[in-house]
């Protein structure tokens, strides 16, 4: 199913959109709730990734297929590995079988876990036989994916002796590690992160705790882009807070430079996005190592605004749902952009023209579809395989239509 997009966003009326809970927070809380049933959750994510993880947690023996959900793959590897009695074959989509997991598997094996590779060394599918783990110290390369570290932190409170994790190298996607620690603390588990050492203490039983998950800032990014590209749109989004534990809330300051003002309504847990006055810069230079999921949105916004940008810190993009650097370059070029990439940088030249009527390929990547959609404010375009959005945001097209963009589904 493809979607043809056209039209300007509503300028008079203020569109109101309610995004569901953060996928990252939901996935962490599911793993914690499976160990500590005293946790209850509100505003749970409606993403495919979170429902696939939720279903997997009820399985103790047999095959588990988590499709495209990277976070679920990494978190479940650690979860099953430390669960005595679990006998699991953990697999995923073709792309998942190309996304590395060797660093996490080696760390777990060093702790005493029983995990083996079924096809290729270092990649899913995995055979996991859950075991009681007594070791409590591990060193891990922190430069590939923060998900490996979060996975270890999330199961650490169930280990008899807790866990000390020593991070080697400069950590990538650091706010996600901090999010994991914040949630552990919120539910009553003790943890410390200082310098390159994370220590999580064992916990047997927790008091009841109810967590109302903040909505997903990564999903909000597409509406920031829409406002940046529109003449005078105003969009209200719930349920967002000023003090977020999601690193992607950096959107507020990043999009200030791109002409979007965020107003927080604390008592209603809402934000309003509107156009700010003032001149846009000619160019944007950003390191996105802390917020990799925003890279596609920001690159497309800059292109739509006719700005140049230099985005660095992107080495993790190559091992996500697709090679996002290559995918971005391919699709931006079709629209007329001049884009250069290397292993961790994207450089976009400023250009005033956008080729109309282009069909954007999405490479099984939800963020390719959603990042290009706001360009509809500037030109008619088609997004191929529009259903990919359900990985993180199943209602995306419905919500986009609320802003006034015309969405016609074909095929
Ligand atoms: O822990 C998480 O919830 C995530 C961590 C990030 O991955 P990396 O640490 O692999 O960059 C991010 O890109 C992903 O969408 C979600
Ligand atoms: C990279 C992402 O997810 P995951 O790694 O969990 O597949 C994402 O949602 O952009």
* Ligand that comes closest to the CA of residue 324: 2
User: Is residue 259 within 8 Å of 275, Cβ to Cβ?
Assistant: yes
Give the residue whose CA is nearest to atom 15 of ligand 1.
Answer: 293
Name the one residue in this structure whose structure tokens are 């603390």. Answer: 185
Give me the pLDDT at residue 314, please. Answer: 98
**Of the residues 49, 248, 293, 365, which is catalytic?**
293
Q: Which of 5, 8, 17, 3 is nearest to 270 (CA)?
A: 17
Please give the number of the atom of ligand 2 that sits closest to the Cα of 367: 10
Query: Do both 33 and 150 map to the same domain?
Result: yes
Query: Do both 222 and 350 map to the same domain?
Result: yes
CATH number (domain holding residue 313): 3.65.10.10
Give me the pLDDT at residue 372, please. Answer: 98
- How far apart are the C-alpha atoms of 57 and 31, rounded to whole Å? 8
User: Does an H or E element contain 410, and which?
Assistant: strand 406-410
Query: Do both 274 and 181 map to the same domain?
Result: no
Sign of the CA dihedral with 327 first, then 328, 331, and 334 last: negative
Q: Reduced to 3 states, what is the DSSP secondary structure of residue 156?
A: helix
- Clarify whether 293 is annotated catalytic: yes
Query: Do both 218 and 257 map to the same domain?
Result: yes
Cβ of 249 closer than 6 Å to ligand 1, yes or no, is: no
Query: Do both 154 and 249 map to the same domain?
Result: no
Give me the pLDDT at residue 7, please. Answer: 80
* Ligand that comes closest to the CA of residue 176: 1
Give me the pLDDT at residue 10, please. Answer: 65
Domain boundary residue among 176, 196, 212?
212
Cβ of 26 closer than 6 Å to ligand 1, yes or no, is: no
Query: Do both 170 and 240 map to the same domain?
Result: no
Give me the pLDDT at residue 12, please. Answer: 47
Cβ of 45 closer than 6 Å to ligand 1, yes or no, is: no
Total domains in the chain come to 2
By DSSP bridging, strand 61-65 and strand 87-91 are parallel
3-state secondary structure 292-345: HHHHHHHHHHHHHHCCEEEEECCHHHHHCCCCHHHHHHHHHHHCCCCEEECCCC
Could you say which residues of the chain have pLDDT below 70?
10-13
Q: Best of 96, 146, 213, 295 to mutate for ligand 1, by most ligand atoms within 8 A of CB?
A: 146
User: Is residue 392 within 8 Å of 47, Cβ to Cβ?
Assistant: yes
* Structure token pair of residue 347: 């450089």
Q: Which of 194, 189, 184, 244 is nearest to 220 (CA)?
A: 244
Interacting residues of 361 by C-beta distance below 8 A, sequence separation 6+: 327, 330, 331, 368, 384, 385
Q: Best of 154, 217, 246, 320 to mutate for ligand 2, by most ligand atoms within 8 A of CB?
A: 320
Query: Do both 333 and 224 map to the same domain?
Result: yes
Q: Which of 165, 109, 104 is nearest to 133 (CA)?
A: 109
Query: Do both 200 and 303 map to the same domain?
Result: no
Query: Do both 369 and 385 map to the same domain?
Result: yes
Query: What is the ipTM metric for this complex?
Result: 0.99
Query: Do both 63 and 207 map to the same domain?
Result: yes
Domain boundary residue among 163, 195, 212?
212
User: Is residue 63 within 8 Å of 73, Cβ to Cβ?
Assistant: no
Give me the pLDDT at residue 14, please. Answer: 79
Query: Do both 245 and 318 map to the same domain?
Result: yes
By DSSP bridging, strand 114-117 and strand 137-141 are unpaired
Give the residue numbers spanning the domain of 189: 23-212
Query: Do both 237 and 346 map to the same domain?
Result: yes
Cβ of 71 closer than 6 Å to ligand 1, yes or no, is: yes
- Exposed e or buried b for every residue in 179-214, given b needs 16+ CB within 10 A? bbbbbbeebbbebebeeeebbbeebeebeeeebebb
- Exposed e or buried b for every residue in 381-391, given b needs 16+ CB within 10 A? bbbbbbebbbb
Sign of the CA dihedral with 71 first, then 77, 80, and 81 last: negative
Phi, psi at residue 131, to the nearest 5°?
-140, 155
pLDDT per position as a tens digit, 154-213 = 999 999 999 999 999 999 999 999 999 999 999 999 999 999 999 999 998 899 999 999
The pTM of the whole model exceeds 0.95: yes
Burial of 246 (0-12, 13-18, 19+ CB in 10 A): buried
Domain boundary residue among 197, 212, 227?
212
The distance of Cα 373 from the centroid of its chain, to the nearest Å, equals 18
């Amino acid at each position: 199913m493809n979607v043809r997009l056209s039209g300007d966003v509503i300028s008079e009326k203020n569109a109101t959109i309610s995004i569901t809970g953060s996928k990252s927070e939901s996935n962490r809380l599911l793993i914690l709730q499976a160990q500590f049933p005293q946790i209850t959750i509100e505003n749970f994510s409606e993403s495919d990734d979170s429902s696939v993880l939720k279903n997997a947690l009820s399985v103790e023996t047999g095959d588990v297929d988590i499709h495209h959900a990277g976070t679920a793959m990494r978190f479940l590897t650690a979860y099953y590995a430390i669960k005595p009695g679990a006998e699991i074959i953990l697999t995923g989509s073709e792309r998942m079988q190309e996304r590395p997991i060797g660093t996490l598997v080696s760390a777990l094996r060093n702790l005493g876990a029983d995990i083996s590779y079924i096809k290729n060394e270092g990649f899913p599918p995995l055979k996991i036989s859950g075991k009681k783990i007594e070791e409590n110290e591990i060193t891990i390369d922190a430069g590939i994916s923060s998900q490996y570290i979060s996975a270890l932190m999330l199961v650490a409170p169930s280990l008899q002796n807790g866990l000390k994790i020593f991070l080697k190298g400069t950590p990538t996607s650091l706010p996600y590690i901090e999010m994991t620690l914040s949630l552990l603390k919120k539910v009553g588990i003790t943890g410390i992160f200082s310098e390159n050492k994370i220590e999580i203490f064992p916990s047997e039983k927790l008091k009841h705790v109810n967590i109302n998950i903040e909505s997903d800032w990564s999903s909000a990014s597409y509406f920031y882009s829409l406002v940046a590209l529109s003449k005078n749109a105003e969009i209200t989004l719930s349920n967002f807070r000023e003090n977020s534990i999601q690193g992607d809330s950096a959107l507020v300051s990043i999009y200030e430079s791109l002409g979007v003002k965020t107003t927080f309504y604390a008592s209603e847990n809402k934000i309003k996005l509107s156009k700010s006055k003032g001149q846009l810069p000619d160019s944007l230079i950003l390191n996105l190592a802390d917020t990799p999921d925003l890279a596609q949105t920001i690159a497309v916004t800059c292109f739509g605004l006719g700005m140049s940008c230099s985005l660095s810190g992107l080495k993790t993009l190559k091992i996500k749902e697709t090679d996002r650097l290559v995918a971005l370059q391919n699709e931006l070029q079709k629209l007329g952009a001049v884009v250069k990439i290397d292993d961790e940088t994207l450089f976009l030249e400023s250009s005033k023209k956008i080729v109309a009527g282009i069909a954007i390929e999405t490479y099984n990547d939800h963020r390719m579809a959603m990042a290009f959609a706001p360009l509809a404010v500037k030109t008619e375009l088609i997004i191929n395989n529009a259903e990919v959005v359900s990985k993180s945001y199943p209602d995306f097209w419905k919500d986009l239509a609320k802003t006034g963009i015309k969405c016609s589904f074909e095929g």
